[in-house]
Structure 1
Amino acid sequence: MVDVNQLQFQSIHYNGQQASTSLIVTGAVHGNETCGTIAIQRVMKELDSGVLFLRRGTVTFVPVTNPLAYAKGERVGERNLNRNLFSNSNPQNFEDRVANWLCPLLAQHDVLLDLHSFNAASEPFVMVGPRNNNGLLEPFKHEEQERALARRLGVRRFVDGWLRTYGDGVQRRMSDSSELQTVLRYGMGTTEYMRSTGGYALTLECGQHSDPQAPEVAYRAILNTLAFLGLIDAPMPEPIAPENMEALSMVAVYDKQHAHDTFSRIWSSFDPVKQGEEIGRRVDGTPVLAEFDGRILFPDSAAGANSEWYYLTRPNPSF
């Protein structure tokens, strides 16, 4: 049993002698996703030993963002830290207390690299933010810089459209529009919060939790980010060639209507689906069919009734 009163928060800052961009790198937002922690510790060791040298700007490392979840070796401590991420004057759980420390820390920086991993076997990918816009949901003005960095992290697969698609699902579910903004807040995680403070941010999903290559993916991404931002003296990383990219947009979310709705097979993120292919069945036996050719994302067989069950993506040739 973990005593939450014995846990503390840690961030480690490095400052170059010349003013430049401020970067923050986070690991273990989910406690069983440790590749970022391993990679961050490796980079800090190199900075401490002089193998790496921070020439300009600042970088803050948070090896373990959620110490309760990390100590438990589980995804969450008391709730999902990467949802409803806001400062809270009346914290109700451990993750609320993390948020009260983390949100002001994020706001002090220009760029966030958030390192994650996933459960099912698949290749690494990066989640990017919206196009530049002045909308109410997720206004943004750093599309060019954010996507340029995404292309230099060392992965070939890119996904956008999270908050927009999540919000569409929320609006469909809500019968009381006065609750809409409250529920939309649940879609706010580390990168969304960072963008809301005027910065830009990327979530890098580095591979399957236990894949020995996942920490290598995270380590390479940190070094490439430091080089891209000019914080270390290193060649500018080459962007991935367009012909080698796979860019996808989340375009639709599908709900479990009943707790006993079931998938017709075990799905993993990025499994391809064909229009008309059976994805699952409702509790009354009605088949749930793919509405278009694409790839499935975030299938959740354990989802509850009236909550998101899976997402579908389409190729995004304009990425």
Structure 2
Amino acid sequence: MSSPPTHLRIHQFAGLRPGPRLLVTGAVHGNEVHGTRAMAEIIRQLDAGELVLRRGTLTLVPVVNPLAYRLDRREGDRNLNRNLRPPAVVHDFEDRIARVLCPLLGQHDGLLDLHSFQGQGPAFAMIGPRNNDGDLEPFSQEATESAVAAALGVGRIVEGWLSTYALGLQRRQQREHDGSRRAALTSDPHYGVGTTEYMRSTGGWAITLECGQHLDPAGPEVARRAILRTLVLLGMLDDGAVEPHRPAQPPELLQLYEVIDREDAGDSFEREWASFDAVAQGQRIGTRASGEAVLAPSGGRIVFPNVKSPPGTEWFYLARPSDRRL
């Protein structure tokens, strides 16, 4: 195998008038490239003068994890979007990225992080907590995140990532693990922190946009329009740069409330689930290798069902309607 990549390619456009500092990232997971392709077109349009940056600073990182991207898989050595922080000691390739990425996040006011997912389903956005001064994820940028999420052009918005992940971690920490670095990382209290959570810890706002299934041909255009709509909302591009999002009805808001790990390679789903398929209370979602049924504790929707998840990691999430108002 050739030697691992030695740099990140960062594109920055600095307006001649002061304004917001927006960071857009793609391929945090190497096989999630809708954002990568969208940014290539945005860069071309800016270079050609088809788009004009009026103010502020736009930073684009089309491939955040170049090793995983080269290998066309989710991870290089490990999942970059978990346990993200500047490492005191470098253990793997993702730690090397974190030493560059974390300071870069801290230099910006906001983050649009572009992803895709394994199962079928429509594009959706994920936002952070409501304003709070608690210990888990103190936050004061709820209004900005709500405004950006509403402008992106998706029909569904999800909240509750870190609080739900914390519940799963508590269960994971109670199980014995094999002593591997992966097992140690997945049971670390910091493991739920990725790009958006780290961005919020620096005082910024952050949105994850899941642009559709990994191979959805519409995904790059979903990502491109989302970037442009964010720039227009922030006053960095003129209004005519992209058709505004005018939904016939408000987006559906959901709150994650449960994460279920895959415990054994023999754990299997009851059927082929897609993100946001409805589940009823008591409905069988899957079966453990032991034969134990995995049932929905309440009605709602399944999110991120992953038939390829390794044992000891997230298998699927559950969500229910949120009372939040954008």
Matched, 1:112 2:97: no
Of the candidates 222, 225, 231, which is equivalent to residue 226 of structure 1? 231
Does residue 1:292 correspond to 2:291, yes or no? Answer: no
How much has 1:252 moved relative to structure 2? 1.4
Contact 2:229/2:244 (<8 A) preserved: no
Secondary structure at 1:184 match in 2: coil
* Alignment match, 1:20: 19
Shift of 1:225: 0.7
Counterparts in 2 of 1:116 and 1:302: CA distance versus 1, 3 Å: closer
Q: Partner of 2:61 in structure 1?
A: 62
Shift of 1:208: 1.4
**Counterpart code for 2:251:** M
* Pairing 1:73-222 to 2, within 5 Å after superposition: 73-175=72-174, 183-222=188-227
* CA deviation string 1:16-44 (max 9, x = no partner): 11111100111111111111111111111
1:275 matched residue in structure 2: 281
Separation (CA, whole Å) in 1 of partners of 2:104 and 2:167: 30
Shift of 1:288: 2.1
1:241 is displaced (CA, Å) by: 4.5
* Contact preservation (8 Å) 2:114, 2:208: yes
What SS does the corresponding residue of 2:151 show, helix, strand or coil?
coil
Residue 274 of structure 1 and its aligned partner are, at CA, apart by 1.0
Shift of 1:187: 0.7
Corresponding residue number in structure 2 for 1:2: 2
Percent identical pairs in the alignment equals 51
Letter of the aligned partner of 1:229 in structure 2? L
What is the Cα deviation at residue 229 of structure 1? 0.5
Q: Distance in 2 between matches of 1:307 and 1:93?
A: 19
Give 5+ residue unaligned stretches, structure 1: none
Alpha-carbon distance between aligned partners in 2 of 1:305 and 1:7, rounded to the nearest angstrom: 31
Mapped to 1, the partners of 2:9 and 2:271 lie a distance apart of: 42
Q: Is the 8 A contact 2:114 2:209 kept in 1?
A: yes
Aligned runs of 1:230-241 on 2, under 5 Å?
230-234=235-239, 238=244, 241=247
Using the TM superposition, give the Cα deviation of residue 185 of structure 1 relative to its aligned residue in structure 2, in angstroms: 0.8
Q: Secondary structure at the match of 1:174?
A: helix
> What is the CA distance between 1:73 and its match in structure 2?
1.4
Query: Partners in 2 of 1:175 and 1:208 — Cα distance?
Result: 33
TM-score, normalisation: structure 1: 0.92
Matched-pair contact (CA < 8 Å) for 1:170–1:180 = no
Q: Residue by residue, what CA displacement relative to the aligned partner does 1:41-82 show, whole Å, maximum 9, x if unpaired?
A: 111111111111111111101111111111111111111111
Q: CA deviation at 1:306?
A: 5.0
Deviations 1:127-159 (A, max 9, x none): 110001111111110001101100001111111
- 1:308 and 1:208 map into 2 onto residues whose CA distance is 18
Structure 2: where are the runs of 5+ without partners?
176-183
Please report how far the alpha carbon of residue 202 of structure 1 lies from its aligned counterpart in structure 2 after TM superposition: 0.5
Cα deviation 1:85-106 (Å, max 9, x = unaligned): 1111311111110110111011
* Amino acid in the other structure paired with 1:113: L
- Offset, 1:182: 7.2
The one-letter code matched in structure 1 to 2:22 is: L
2:267 to 257, 261, 264: 261
Decide whether the 8 Å contact of 1:16 with 1:54 is kept in 2: yes
Could you say what the CA RMSD is over the residues aligned between the two structures, in angstroms? 2.2
Aligned partners of 2:36, 2:7: CA distance in 1, in Å?
Answer: 16
Task: Quote the Cα distance in structure 2 between the aligned partners of 1:63 and 1:244.
Answer: 30
Distance (Å, rounded) in 1 between the aligned partners of 2:263 and 2:78:
23
Shift of 1:175: 3.9
- How far the C-alpha of 1:287 sits from its partner, in A, is 2.0
